[in-house]
A and B are shown apart, each in its own frame.
Chain A
Amino acid sequence: MAEIQQKGGDEGGKKRAKKMSTRIDMTPMVDLGFLLLTFFVMTTTLAKPQTMEINMPVKPKNPDEQLQLKASNAFTILLGDNDKVFYYKGLNDGSAKVDLIESDWSKNGIRKAVLESTQGNKDLVVLIKPDETSTYKNVVDVLDEMTITNTKKYAIVPMDNADATLLTEKGGR
């Protein structure tokens, strides 16, 4: 680099270092910084998945020891194929004809039905019976409705023949 002679003050030929600018071009550093930032934002999982805690009733050793549920305290939800949902009040034990009502997942659907029944009867037990054709999503949705409506007593129960025929009659499978 060509030395530029400093004017004046040239005492005894003393060499003075050229003063360089202290400013650094930081653009590449910014680039790098944001590149890393983008990488970390995209590769990492920040939100931990939510969970739903579920307690299943303990299976009794002897089925006869099980307490019978009173029909007046029962509320059954049947899950069919293609996101169909049905419900009826009482039990389907063949003694009386049950009235199966088709419902839906909207605000005024199954939620309203569950809410109205639980408010009228504190001892109500909701029985959830998913059919073989129903999806896991529907089951989670029903369990979710239980949380939303603050229903404390509910259980997932396997579907029996009586309910299966009822569901077939209504076109739910």
Chain B
Amino acid sequence: MPKVKVHRTSPSLDMTPMVDLAFLLVTFFMLISKFAPEEVLVVDTPSSVSEIKLPDANLITISVGKEGRVFFNVDGTTTRRKLIDKMGEKYGIAFTEEEKELFSRSASFGVPVASLKSFLNMTPEEQKKVRQPGIPTDSLRNELGDWIMQTRYSNPKAIVAVKGDGSSDYPAVGRVIEILQEKKINRFNLVTDMETRPTL
């Protein structure tokens, strides 16, 4: 009996559709996403059922860490530039053009105004290493209030978002809310994680 010859197919696959798919996804992710901004302060936000999304622009973010350190951030290079001009004027610190440029491009910070100049002159690596003490919020040196007010003057559209750590003691966040109220900002946002709404 003659042997039936099995026709052997070549083991090489046509990978073209796979490449297509992979690069389509790469393109999709590149276009849709933003790089996660580098955070010096780790904030673990509590969760809520609220479904409002945080706006993209015109945002003042006040972060409160676990130990009650307060950090400040505002988006927009023009706003930041105006802001440092105004803060320098108010506190009598002359910032050089270079420092202003650095400030307009930097992210959130938590140093008193007095040490901001030396902080800006550090290299990014040094800035990461140094432990920022947080912005003073006590009633004697209410720098946070000044930062907020000057930002509102620089960009009247700015919305305040408070990003507090869930395990921080309430007084730390409560003090920030108190300052906001003092500055007549009675409407603000609390940044939270998502949580499913339970049925009643």
Contacts and interface: CB of A to CB of B under 8 A. Distances in A.
18 contacts: A30-B22, A37-B22, A37-B26, A40-B33, A41-B29, A44-B34, A44-B35, A45-B33, A46-B32, A51-B54, A52-B52, A111-B200, A132-B169, A136-B64, A140-B190, A140-B192, A148-B200, A156-B177
Contact of A144 (B22, B25, B32, B49): B49
Interface of A: 23, 25-27, 29-30, 33-34, 36-37, 40-41, 43-59, 79, 107, 111, 115, 130-141, 143-144, 147-149, 156, 158
Interface majority SS on B: helix, strand, loop or mixed?
A: mixed
Given A44-B33, A52-B190, A147 B52 contact: no
Given A30-B19, A56-B186, A135 B181 contact: no
A79 B197 contact: no
A23 B12 contact: yes
Interface size bracket, B side: 35 or more
A52 B169 contact: no
Contacts of A23: 12
B187 A54 contact: yes
Interface majority SS on A: helix, strand, loop or mixed?
A: mixed
Given A40-B30, A44-B36, A135-B167, 13 more contacts: A37-B25, A51-B52, A51-B53, A52-B190, A53-B187, A53-B189, A136-B166, A137-B167, A138-B170, A140-B47, A140-B192, A156-B174, A156-B177
Contact of A50 (B12, B170, B194): B194
